[in-house]
């Protein structure tokens, strides 16, 4: 056989057999390995993409929930502030009412005390009047019982005053 490009026939046959074997091996590897590996990689890619989508969806949902709860928290904070303000207002109203009631009660006690003092004063004045009447009556009795002159009358008056001075006056 003539030589092609400087190869002998046996080398060409070996080259053809090696090419055939390489082609057959490549075809078998393509069927046995390439398709399953490609399918596996595609499936893995799809699973990863799905996981990423789920993670993004979860993140979006979490952000929505965060916003929702932040709004709720803001509402609760506003309600708390309103309740505290209402409690302060009520406390101030109660304080004002207590002070007003205390002032009224103090005024009432003061008025009762003034009335009591007035009544005691009137009683003291009435007692003094009664004692003066008693003294006057006693003096008149002594005056009438003795028909007396000015010196005797002065003595008698001094005597009555000293008797009255010894007596206890009621206040």
Q: What is the pLDDT of residues 128-164, one digit of tens each?
A: 888 887 887 787 777 666 666 777 767 777 777 777 6
Return all residues near 155 (Cβ < 8 A) that are at least 6 apart. Answer: none
Tokens of 68: 């929702």
Q: What is the pLDDT of residues 4-51, one digit of tens each?
A: 556 677 888 998 999 999 999 988 888 888 888 889 999 999 999 999
User: Which CA distances in Å does 83 have to 16, 78, 97?
Assistant: 95, 9, 21
Tokens of 125: 């004045």
């Amino acid at each position: 056989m003539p030589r092609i490009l400087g190869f002998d026939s046996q080398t060409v046959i070996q080259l053809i057999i090696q090419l055939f074997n390489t082609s057959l091996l490549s075809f078998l590897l393509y069927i046995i390995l390439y398709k399953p590996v490609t399918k596996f990689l595609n499936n893995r890619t799809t699973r990863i993409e799905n996981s990423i989508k789920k993670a993004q969806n979860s993140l979006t949902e979490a952000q929505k929930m965060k916003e929702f709860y932040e709004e709720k928290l803001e509402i609760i904070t506003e309600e708390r502030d309103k309740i505290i303000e209402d409690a302060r207002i009520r406390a101030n109203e109660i304080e004002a009412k207590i002070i007003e009631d205390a002032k009224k009660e103090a005024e009432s006690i003061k008025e009762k005390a003034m009335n009591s003092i007035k009544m005691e004063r009137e009683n003291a004045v009435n007692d003094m009047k009664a004692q003066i009447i008693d003294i006057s009556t006693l003096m008149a009795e002594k005056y009438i019982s003795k028909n007396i002159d000015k010196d005797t009358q002065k003595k008698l008056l001094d005597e009555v005053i000293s008797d009255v001075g010894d007596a206890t006056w009621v206040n």
